[in-house]
Structure 1
């Protein structure tokens, strides 16, 4: 049932992406009617909230609404880690000649497929870490949170961008990566001219990934300007698909998507012709005819050509805007403003100076957060709007999340689209707790939605090694009972339907642990320790006010696989990705291990759970924009080996890639 629900969410996200690309036809420009939102009245016998008020667009209530928390004051119900991680991620950067690259910027992040599927959302970079290479080209990140699939992105002005994916960091030890090689990249050059063939100097040109136009990014990947002859040049570009935007005073903007750069060709040429600019002007109002200030208005003209025109403006205090860098023609206008329903179907011709656009306000949800035990309001908490589904108990977190400091426990969430929801509240010392479900209609106001906070339940146990000795500093994390830690699950992130609390702790010196303030649900826990294979336990039922003991958890050292990756000539291959996957179907959670060969072509996969696996290697080019997908798949099939791993045993296996 849950897999079907996840599929529905993914299809909905894909549909949203399609309509973002095409500026869907059905974005209305007027407020919808109806009787307004509905809410299910609370049924508890403890102090009751006022009944949810069902009204139209917000006319104000005079209620003392909570103020958002200040930056750095985010409350949390997540169990904290007792100690830092005794580990390091290290490596070096060099050029094709083997010389160290000094001053390269290294970014450690968790970018995943979600940045592609949910491309309309801004990429979350809050967890990224950055450093620079030293005089020897070396870099290191200390005390890194363990994770199986980090990415390393390397940038330097004299080289094209380099990326290393699938970087694994465990809880303990030093995780040395193979040298990252930076190469001179592709060059894009050409001339910017007007329709008569004359040079356009001082044009500003930006070159970005193909998703830039759909993403709310504020920084461009590459920027340059045309000289007096209209000539421009971008150097050291990485291979892949790009979009070029060109702007010059007095001319319509040009946007060219679908530029594909191949590392096998060192230089590409693309001339750009700009037309004399025309304009579209107008005003943006709400349903009460009040001007809307700060609305973003974007005009896009689509054509069969790869070159398009688009421009953007922000409304002033009078709600007025003017798009002044357009080519002559017909345009689709898209308008966005927090608190209002986005509009994407307004049509206008250049020369129009009185385009009137009406925006409908989004709904708001307000209420109070109290302690169920005492009936007292909470003064510091986080509220999250979660989507509910018919005939399914799981919920999904939306993007609406705010921190509050409030004397009376009140909160107010705004910019809420129509849908069925619950409000989740999180606070220190409490389990995440939900309100009763309610419905929100376009522009409505739902009030009196109360969240009663409880202490939840807990999971406890003791972690020991094979000899019965306590394992301290092992990392324990909670997950939904069906969590697989696959790339797809990571992609879904908080969108994955679940009511399970996310918590993590480390074991004490005696191996004991307690995960507290968990919402009643069926859980999976994962136990990780640097010298042992990961332990996974499912079907842990947590009840309100109870402690579920999982007893003594014995960790195995697991097996080890090591060897060398060679090419068809017998030479060692550095940076090859080595994958180990479960062979065939499994009744439990599928396990996956990954490593990269070092400068000598050697690789090590340690702490592997006993079982049957498939082992193979991928060339360093795979996934870097310069590889042949079919050739890579051929390599996989050719060098794949089926092996059996036993606890405490070590296997030495040589892998060959690129053979016939």
Structure 2
């Protein structure tokens, strides 16, 4: 499926119109680029963006120069202006506007609607760059009728070529797709191929095209050809009306859901069209200056489907307007204000639009806490609450401060600049490591220079790391009284691993990756080139084991069994090259099948994927390990519902097929090569009902979740002013935990749903929230731990432990929960306590006191791989209560440390070094068992014995 010719005609016509509107300026000249490199002087945009052509007075421009580090102009560089973020102009279209620089390096991009833009430039053999303000912000503000000038970019040498192809899922080439890799942009040609020059290394690459949903994968440059398959877009259409009288709302912003960044705007009759969506279940929402609304039920969208018209009834809402102001009275250019109502737990955000102005829309009456973020600045500790009634609030001021600035450069042990550092971290001594203003905004340039902006005054520990985890030694810097300059961070010298990844027939393994794990470092890795070669640079000295994987999961080494140590050994020495050959089992196997519905009729356009099952004893099915998706990109069934999964290596596979919105699916486990399957997709069901308050009435805001752990399936839904009614549609059969939460409380129940069954009578009464109390101590000493962040779930109630280790979390919902504890480490490289998640059951009517929670002191320094204990554990069955977890031995490797100590298959480990690790204490196991080689653990067994097991090196 190629891009329609009509769009090209429209785009060409509009370019001609824009030509007459352009201000007088010297046009740029297109430079000759390498073969396969696609270049354009102005991008096409989705046809919907041109339904109403904006007059010239409402458009703006961006102009500047592109130069090299020697300040000499670069001709023929591609400069693109992308939408910086979702906001009022998000419906302007996702395609960037691109031009090429002229002989003098000058460029001008005009015809831009007002709003924030991210300006990026690239050129042959150069590292692409993003324009940054002096304070590090990356947004360029486009103003109607004016030109943003001096938007200059510097391109350093060292770029490498990344090539690839964009196809639709049925195999046809896609022309004109926009492809992005970090700061680089390319456009696919008539044959779907593209080429761009990028920063060397691994990153995400995304492709988007008119009429398709975007696709993202990871890729490495140079040497690896990128393959991106796009699915036809699904589309939401509908109308936004006022809830009180049904009148249309024009100009309302419509989004597909709270986790989808795509937006559009309604026309004069309230109509909207929102495309670019993957198949799924969506709950569209709409917001304007005076209204906010949410669709009453989820909308299931099949592959390439356009929905029936959806009506969003928007209720009266309030907009809060204000400005983020810096110390000198200036405006924050890149920032956000979030207003949270503690009573309802609802948070609403607004991004900086122009001159620091922020509009937070869609608010109900209440008292809101303000959280302010501005790039490169420090917010105040607390802002005055915002009282919202029936009328709009305007003229608020949120002040932020410049903070401290630390600048310097990254070098290797020989003093050579390190150009591709992956991370730079500043940690305020004695501060909360989770506070973004205690870490600063890091900006690292290709020449190794760096700037840390917006730091709170104080003493910092600085560390830098290369891709993969090799870190510099911490450097103490005092930024208490003034900015600090000329800091030099030295990254340790490393070695290099070069090799080939081949199958048993000597053919290169494509689209694969190699990673290293070892005693002194772990996680080092890189991609395998098309010819099977790989090079891992700057690897810290030490002993490692190399592992291979592709998009289906780990690749099995040729001739190895489940009892063998995983990976291939390799010794790395600083300044030396280690050669390595990894031989994996050959592909070429097939699994064939047919997908049918509950009536036995074939399902065309069903998606089918597979994942290689682990041969390790005690491992769960790949279906539950990978959740509702697979490492491999899915294929599509033909008109008869048939499919063929090809190029499979030996072993058994978990196969999954789904259609429509993807909720219901057919699965098969332990499928052998050569099998012929019939996968039956069951009919979808529905769970619905109502939620009530204890004293009568219904909550205004409501969140309902349904979880089926044996399927690893989770759905969540929000409702607004529905009198407590909810409906979860498109559910696969299973036994669900249905949970309702509102500001007033929570409730949950179990629901068993048959295929195609509809249950609409679920009645839930909210139990009031309570105060959760507890104490955090050190496991070894029993001493209280101060400054530990305690949080319920992710983004829930949180607080810090006091001098006695105590905490209290008001407004905690009852029911099963996860207590997350994040210690404030005095030294991030030292033996601090581990982050811990503790499963708990919150119950009671007013308050609940937990038993003391003991944290384990870290036994495995950061970036260090664990030693080998020589045994494997049975993975817990899906849906098991984590508070009842048992650690059962599923395999003991012959000749390994555990076998020498007398551990047997079937043993249950109930204690480590005298500390209980079963049941309610099972959360301690991993922190106690992850140790470096040479350390001896005392394993207490349920049969009454205690065994001394000494971890061995992974060699």
- TM tier relative to shorter chain: 0.5 to 0.7
**Separation in structure 2 between the aligned mates of residue 611 and residue 352 of structure 1, nearest angstrom:** 59
Structure 1 residue 540, shift from structure 2 partner = 1.9
Q: CA deviation at 1:293?
A: 5.3
Q: Deviations over 1:59-92 (max 9, x none)?
A: xxxxxxx9643566677899979x857x544455
**1:525 CA displacement:** 2.6
Equivalent position of 1:332 in the other structure: 461
After superposition, the CA RMSD in angstroms is 5.8
Task: Determine if the alignment matches structure 1 residue 410 to structure 2 residue 533.
Answer: yes
| 1:201 has 2:320 as partner | no
8 Å contact from structure 2 (residues 286, 314) kept in 1: no
3-state SS of 2:318 partner: coil
Structure 2 unmatched runs, 5+: 1-159, 165-178, 180-192, 195-218, 339-348, 559-566, 614-619, 769-955
Does residue 365 in structure 1 map to residue 497 in structure 2?
yes
Find the aligned partners of 1:235 and 1:84 in 2 and give their Cα distance.
Answer: 35
Once the two structures are superposed, what CA deviation does each residue of 1:369-423 show, in whole Å capped at 9, x if it has no partner? 44643x3557xx4332346699xxxxx9x69554745xx5433244657764313
Larger CA deviation: 232-241 vs 563-572 = 563-572
Kindly indicate whether residue 163 of structure 2 is the aligned counterpart of residue 69 of structure 1: yes
Counterpart selection for 2:302 from 162, 171, 190: 171
Flag the 1:302–1:169 CA change in 2: closer, same or farther, 3 A. farther
The answer to whether the 8 A contact 1:147-1:170 is kept is yes
CA positional deviation for 1:358: 1.7
Take 1:595 and 1:310, find their aligned partners in 2: how far apart are those partners?
35
Whether the aligned pair in 1 keeps the contact of 2:250 and 2:269 (CA below 8 Å) is: yes
Q: Is 1:437–2:568 an aligned residue pair?
A: yes
Aligned pairs, how many?
505
Tell me the residue number matched to 2:318.
Answer: 184
Q: Structure 1 residue aligned with 2:548, among 417, 423, 431?
A: 423
TM-superposed CA distance for 1:240, in Å, is 6.9
Tell me how far apart the structure 2 counterparts of residues 322 and 530 of structure 1 sit (CA, whole Å): 48
Once residues 285 and 340 of structure 1 are traced to their aligned partners in structure 2, the CA distance between those partners, rounded to angstroms, is 16
* CA–CA separation in structure 2 for the residues paired with 1:554 and 1:280: 60
Partner of 2:371: 242
Q: CA deviation at 1:269?
A: 7.0
Whether contact under 8 Å (2:255, 2:286) holds in the other structure is yes
Give the match for residue 216 of structure 1.
none
Q: How far has the Cα of 1:645 moved from its partner?
A: 4.2
Aligned to 2:411: 285
TM-score normalised by length of structure 2: 0.42
Deviation at 1:288, TM superposition (A): 1.4
Q: CA contact under 8 A between 2:324 and 2:358: conserved in structure 1?
A: no
> Unaligned 5+ residue runs, structure 1?
1-65, 112-124, 194-199, 211-219, 227-231, 248-252, 391-395, 494-499
Counterpart Cα distance in 2 of 1:646 and 1:278: 60
Q: What CA deviation, in whole Å up to 9, does each residue of 1:493-523 have, x standing for no partner? A: 9xxxxxx852523333333222222344443
* 8 Å contact kept, 2:335–2:374: yes
What does residue range 18-33 of structure 1 map to in structure 2 within 5 Å?
none
Which residue is equivalent to 1:463?
595
The TM-score normalised by the length of structure 1 is 0.56
Match of 1:539 in 2: 669
Deviation at 1:132, TM superposition (A): 3.9
In 2, Cα distance between equivalents of 1:452 and 1:480: 14
Asked if structure 1 preserves the Cα contact closer than 8 Å seen for 2:717 and 2:728, the reply is yes
Q: Deviations over 1:311-342 (max 9, x none)?
A: 7565685x666879888754433445658834
Map of 1:346 onto structure 2? 475
| Residue matched to 1:509 | 639
Are the equivalent residues in 2 in contact too, given 1:531–1:607 (CA < 8 A)?
yes
1-structure distance, mates of 2:458, 2:595: 69
2:557 & 2:296 partners in 1: Cα distance? 38
- Please list the CA deviations of residues 125-166 of structure 1 after superposition, one character each: whole Å capped at 9, or x if unmatched: 9xx655444334444445743346x6868787x589999999
Deviation at 1:479, TM superposition (A): 4.4
Give the Cα–Cα distance (whole angstroms) in 2 for the partners of residues 558 and 278 of structure 1: 56
Pick from 522, 528, 535 the counterpart of residue 658 of structure 2. Answer: 528
The superposition leaves residues 209-245 of structure 1 with CA deviations (integer Å, 9 ceiling, x where unpaired) of: 89xxxxxxxxx9734798xxxxx76442786773434
Determine the C-alpha separation between the residues in 2 that align with 1:159 and 1:343.
Answer: 52
Check if 1:553 corresponds to 2:679. Answer: yes
Q: Is the 8 A contact 1:339 1:361 kept in 2?
A: no
The CA deviation at 1:287 is: 0.9
Distance 2:527 2:267 in 1: 40
Q: 1:475 to 1:110 in 2, by over 3 A?
A: farther
* Kept after mapping to 2: 8 A contact 1:79/1:516: no
Q: Quote the Cα distance in structure 1 between the aligned partners of 2:717 and 2:483.
A: 60
1:8 alignment counterpart: none
Structure 2 counterparts to residues 34-433 of structure 1, below 5 A: 68-70=162-164, 84=232, 88-90=235-237, 92=239, 102-103=250-251, 106=254, 129-142=262-275, 144-147=277-280, 158=289, 169-171=300-302, 174=307, 179=312, 181=314, 183-187=317-321, 200-202=328-330, 204=332, 206-208=334-336, 222-223=351-352, 234-236=358-360, 242-245=371-374, 254-256=378-380, 272=399, 284-292=410-418, 314=444, 330-335=459-464, 341-343=470-472, 345-349=474-478, 350=482, 355-361=487-493, 364-370=496-502, 372-373=504-505, 375=506, 381-386=510-515, 402=527, 404=529, 409-414=532-537, 420-424=545-549
Q: 1:130 to 1:190 in 2, by over 3 A?
A: closer
CA contact (8 A) 1:93 1:101 kept: yes
Question: Structure 1 residues 191, 343: CA separation in 2 closer, same or farther (over 3 Å shift)?
Answer: same
Match of 2:761 in 1: 653
SS in 2 for 1:547: coil
The residue aligned with 1:47 is none
For each residue in 1:467-510, what CA deviation from the matched residue of structure 2 results, as whole angstroms up to 9, or x when unmatched? 44333333323246646988x9669x9xxxxxx85252333333
Q: Is the 8 A contact 2:279 2:661 kept in 1?
A: no
For the 8 Å contact 2:375–2:441, the answer to whether it is kept is no
Equivalent pair of 2:442/2:450 in contact (CA under 8 Å): no
Which of structures 1 and 2 has the larger relative contact order (alpha carbons within 8 angstroms, sep 6+)? 1
Counterpart Cα distance in 2 of 1:189 and 1:77: 43
Secondary structure in 1 aligned to 2:711? coil
